Structure 1
């Protein structure tokens, strides 16, 4: 019966396959070239990668050469689904690899401070985003989406941080050995975990609605999934990766890690939550100490950060239409959303840092680091567009927040850290950091092999 069903399925038309292959090749080439150019200019690579999609998409090519754009980016659902499915795998592996960079020991040491900073850094922009969502023009809300769902989504988008961008920024600026750098990573890790859960809640609200029974079931599923991951998933993951690590080759470890991350995403998808949450938790389990030889995951990180992540980010740029910003109402909304994102995150992180006893410049440095949204914001925006919560205009606004906040982080961090003296513990860590870097590997470094996306 199965053979009959598979045989009856029509083969992929040669033209659709040709267009798909050209899409992937052109997007990757552009993302690589413009990403490297951005880095040479001192900007995060995500800026150039997103610009690739902007140039090839409706913002530039769609206006300059509409016939070529229509051929290269046809509006047929089947053609779009090919690229979307490929990018969805890239997103899950990107989020999973991000989870492997969690430093559990650091999180335990600084858990209290990190939790306080993270809660404040989440709560204030979340509330401001909710308020803004209730006041936004109706034209910015996806068709058929209740305003409260849109407001909840906007609040979630305003509250997230991005560990990949934060880690790469701290590494480039040689701040990973500083107490502030480690605290930014710890708080950002908590932010990431809560952010993926909030995204799952919003996704459920946008698709199946929210009732008391569904909320209760959702919380039960969340608690159950985390308990399952800790009690059963952790030893199983450790065993699977340990067996794979017996091979002298990196292939088995890489394959097992990919399977685990995708299964984590599939499980949360089956439970009605966003698959990125499951992929993130699976990535954390894969990266825990004792879970196989982490060095053998280097090929996975290379492929994800050098191929799949740039492809996803470039494809995200395809959905941006900067011409929307010519409309005064959209431009004003963009300025308002950006102000809410920046002020909310800075105010929240600053308040949390001061409550934990940090000085003003240290608190400002924390705000600068956690303000970077990067690829996490792009994932959130893409999810909102896919679910119909966001329009193209709103999607463009949210992705712009990711770009601008990622650009703001390095100079503001440099300014704040110039006023924070290095203590003795940090001096010792600095020497160890240099020794590890000279050896080409830094044990426990959350930024190891992390791309600037």
Structure 2
């Protein structure tokens, strides 16, 4: 790495931070999550505008591998936080309703997505038909749990039954989607590695929950009694990196290892969990995720999308929105929610955001998606997240929110646990 590359890299990071913060603030002005502005900033840096002249000037070829490495670290941290914020306590409170909504909002769009993928495979399949079909079906099923948490917090819905039900359903949906993605990746025969390595994932996960999780809890409590905060943070980072490295070595993908280690974090050390999450967010959310948006945006090229591409985009958007809405609505009705609140849940579960972007980038890296389909799916992720706010105002007016807040206050004192607002 030459001195000139060091200078370019540092200046690039500064530019990325400035643009990401500015676009995030602009998104807030339009009542959108900041992640929307940051994703659009990443796309603007790419080849869609000015035939890639901005990308070539700001991010020369010699610096891009370094940016990609930083972006991958950012994804590892984000996926760890996604696993960390998965709340088993929340699930136990409304398990039946959550199961109905999560199953409907995941399985219906997955089924429609596989049908769509069968039609798209002729143009975008890339030789892995089964993996392609499973991957596109899963991409249609994703709900961005962290973005959803942010929207619910910003709308004042955190203490309501609908807010808790949406968060719980999205959390279970995340588990289902990551499991389906794992199956899609395994159809590639270990992602280019020895196929037998993938089989080690099952004992690895079992050892994590049965052995590592209780030992990690004891280690954290022992270090916490001595005030060794930095040592706790270092221990968590070491475990996170090892877990991510193992799943990548096994041919699954490093994001699965990061998510798994977040699930392994013991729940009886709430203050430590919160402290670790805050430290990781300070680096990951502020610096590394904006870098990820740029790296992902450099792969998005909408400049060559013609009428055929627009037709594909319209069909993808119809399946993504229609499948999520119909599935979540049916699940909510099975859970005995009225039509208005069922529609509210359906709108909320249609949020995709950064989680979808991570899923799509992994598909591009693994060769399951080509550049054109990747670009159209990224645009779908942005569109579905942008429409959540306006549709939520229509489906869930202030009057309904006030009624649910009053009902929550009149109920038991213990309010449903709501994770920290995220991306």
Q: Same fold (TM over 0.5)?
A: yes
Q: Contact 2:121 / 2:132 at 8 angstroms: preserved in 1?
A: no
Distance 1:159 1:25, change over 3 A: same
Q: 1:445 aligns with which of 391, 415, 418?
A: 418
Distance 1:265 1:111, change over 3 A: farther
> Residue deviations 1:373-412, cap 9 Å, x none?
1111000111111112222211111111211111122232
Query: Partners in 1 of 2:225 and 2:18 — Cα distance?
Result: 36
Match of 2:101 in 1: 117
- Answer yes or no: is 1:55 the counterpart of 2:5: no
- Answer yes or no: is 1:386 the counterpart of 2:386: no
Distance 1:357 1:118, change over 3 A: same
Query: Partners in 2 of 1:247 and 1:321 — Cα distance?
Result: 53
Match of 1:279 in 2: 258
> Residue deviations 1:337-376, cap 9 Å, x none?
1111111111111111112222212211111111101111
Match of 1:440 in 2: none
Q: 2:324 aligns with which of 345, 354, 359?
A: 345
Match of 1:140 in 2: 124
**TM-score, normalization by structure 1:** 0.84
**TM-score, normalization by structure 2:** 0.90
- Answer yes or no: is 1:30 the counterpart of 2:12: no
Map 1:150-189 onto structure 2 (within 5 A).
150-189=132-171
Q: Contact 2:35 / 2:354 at 8 angstroms: preserved in 1?
A: yes
Match of 2:209 in 1: 230
Deviation at 1:267, TM superposition (A): 2.7
Query: Partners in 2 of 1:205 and 1:84 — Cα distance?
Result: 26
Q: Contact 2:74 / 2:284 at 8 angstroms: preserved in 1?
A: yes
Structure 1 unpaired stretches of 5+: 1-11, 434-442
Q: Contact 1:197 / 1:277 at 8 angstroms: preserved in 2?
A: no
Map 1:193-272 onto structure 2 (within 5 A).
193-206=175-188, 208=190, 221=200, 223-246=202-225, 248=227, 250-272=229-251
- Answer yes or no: is 1:404 the counterpart of 2:383: yes
Equivalent residue of 2:337, what SS? Answer: coil
- Answer yes or no: is 1:104 the counterpart of 2:104: no
Deviation at 1:180, TM superposition (A): 0.9
Q: 2:300 aligns with which of 303, 320, 344?
A: 320
Match of 2:71 in 1: 87
Match of 1:377 in 2: 356
Deviation at 1:235, TM superposition (A): 0.7
Query: Partners in 2 of 1:69 and 1:186 — Cα distance?
Result: 40
Deviation at 1:97, TM superposition (A): 1.0
Q: Contact 1:134 / 1:148 at 8 angstroms: preserved in 2?
A: no
Q: 1:305 aligns with which of 276, 279, 285?
A: 285
Query: Partners in 2 of 1:41 and 1:132 — Cα distance?
Result: 32
Deviation at 1:208, TM superposition (A): 4.0
Using the TM superposition, name which of 328-337 and 163-172 deviates more.
Answer: 328-337
Q: Contact 2:214 / 2:266 at 8 angstroms: preserved in 1?
A: no
Query: Partners in 2 of 1:125 and 1:217 — Cα distance?
Result: 31
Query: Partners in 1 of 2:266 and 2:12 — Cα distance?
Result: 33
Equivalent residue of 1:322, what SS? Answer: coil
Deviation at 1:71, TM superposition (A): 4.4
Query: Partners in 1 of 2:46 and 2:209 — Cα distance?
Result: 43
Distance 1:254 1:445, change over 3 A: farther
Distance 1:29 1:254, change over 3 A: farther
Query: Partners in 2 of 1:429 and 1:383 — Cα distance?
Result: 43
Deviation at 1:311, TM superposition (A): 2.3
RMSD, matched Cα: 2.7
Distance 1:415 1:237, change over 3 A: farther
- Answer yes or no: is 1:70 the counterpart of 2:56: yes
Structure 2 unpaired stretches of 5+: none
Query: Partners in 1 of 2:351 and 2:44 — Cα distance?
Result: 24
> Residue deviations 1:228-268, cap 9 Å, x none?
22211211221232234345474333333322222222232
Distance 1:287 1:334, change over 3 A: farther
Query: Partners in 2 of 1:111 and 1:225 — Cα distance?
Result: 27
Distance 1:267 1:111, change over 3 A: farther
